[in-house]
A and B are shown apart, each in its own frame.
Chain A
Amino acid sequence: MERDAVLSVRSGDRNAFGRLVALHQRRLFSLTMMMLKNAAAAEDIAQEAFVRAYTHLDRYDAERPFYPWLAAIAVRRAQSWMRRHGRESVELDPEAEPAALDDPLEMLVTSESGRTLWDAVEALPAAQRTAVFLFYRQDMRLADVATALGVTGGTVKTLLFRARQTLRAAIGPENQESHP
């Protein structure tokens, strides 16, 4: 279905792009919202990503899944937005402190453990947070996460490892015991 939509758009049927938007808008908006924590900016960046995907559709390899390509565009736009607005960079910076921002997503998390985990995810440096979100929530392959972030697969593994350490410590200190 996705591939058919892409081929239809390439054949001149611009309405077919609406199918791609319907398929991926929620997922993409969740990503930009998680990165930017600003609803207006998240919507703007998600729209930008879709429009850019449309105008550069000739560069997309229709044999591969569409979403990782779209997400990579969105991540780069979001990184630019953060740089322009002086927020933390998604580029690899293990020492970067998380920004204290509004959190409309938190309202959706109702369970106690979920809220604790979400708070911990939010507190991660942006690069780790984005890697965790793309890998675990958006089910992207390690290589695709690396492409989206503009880093190597090894760097993504490191980001995920550090994030998992932090999250485990946050949701269950008993999990941090050292092994003899």
Chain B
Amino acid sequence: MICDQVRPFIDRLPAREWTREMRAAITKHVGSCTRCKQALEAVTAMEAEILALPEIEAPGDMAEAIAARIAELPAPVQATEPVPKPSPFKDLRPWAALAPGALTAFAASLYLAISGGQTPELVNAKPMGGWLERMAEMQHAGPGVYVLAAGLVLFAIGLFALPSTDNA
């Protein structure tokens, strides 16, 4: 490493924030560069002086004053568990509410489309291609109709369950 690479780390980044690799590179460089070594020593000395500055005592009655103020307050809300971190999948939750309904409806529609091929004469004879009539009259489609209805209901519930974007 050369001075121009090392010096920004010495000047700009506190030593505590150096990575192991940075520290190794800087240590190696200052072993052979007097000027960078002096710069590092100056920064280190300054940091040590800041640390050595005295700390003042809190007022003697501060703890009692805090205890007196707390005594007048209700007990804090109990929360023995740590605060949960936000889920990285948070943004996907609204769509997860819709997914079961949509999947069920899709599966039922697929089933009906396949089963419907057994009664082709009804398709062209009725409004909407005879879709409703076909569903009602097809013996094989009975369970599929119920599943489709359930899927549509689930989808509708999912739509209502979507949280408002105002709270996001």
Contact = CB atoms under 8 A, between A and B. Distances in A.
Interface string A26-64: 111110010000010001001100110011111111110
B54 A25 contact: no
A175 B75 contact: no
B56 A108 contact: yes
A109 B75 contact: no
A11 B80 contact: yes
B80 A7 contact: yes
A164 B42 CA distance: 10
B82 A179 contact: no
Contacts of B62: 21, 25, 29, 43, 46-47
A157 interface: yes
Contacts of A118: 53
A57 B77 contact: yes
A152 interface: no
B35 A179 contact: yes
Contacts of B47: 136
The secondary structure that dominates the A interface is helix
Contact of B63 (A22, A108, A165): A22
A26 B57 contact: yes
Interface stretch (B9-17, B106-114, B138-146): B9-17
A62 B79 CA distance: 10
A10 B76 CA distance: 6
A62 B50 contact: no
The secondary structure that dominates the B interface is helix
A61 B55 contact: no
Interface stretch (B66-74, B126-134, B159-167): B66-74
A21 B73 CA distance: 16
A58 B11 contact: no
Interface residues of A, number: 59
Interface string A141-180: 0100000000000000100110011011001100100011
27 contacts: A10-B77, A10-B80, A17-B67, A25-B63, A25-B66, A27-B55, A39-B59, A46-B62, A47-B66, A47-B69, A51-B69, A51-B73, A54-B70, A62-B82, A105-B54, A121-B50, A132-B50, A135-B14, A136-B50, A137-B51, A142-B14, A142-B17, A161-B13, A165-B11, A171-B49, A172-B46, A175-B46
Interface of B: 3, 7, 11-14, 16-17, 35-36, 38-39, 42-43, 46-47, 49-59, 62-63, 65-67, 69-71, 73, 75-80, 82-83
Interface of A: 7, 9-12, 14, 17-18, 21-22, 25-30, 33, 39, 43, 46-47, 50-51, 54-63, 104-105, 108-109, 113-114, 117-118, 121, 132, 135-137, 142, 157, 160-161, 164-165, 167-168, 171-172, 175, 179-180
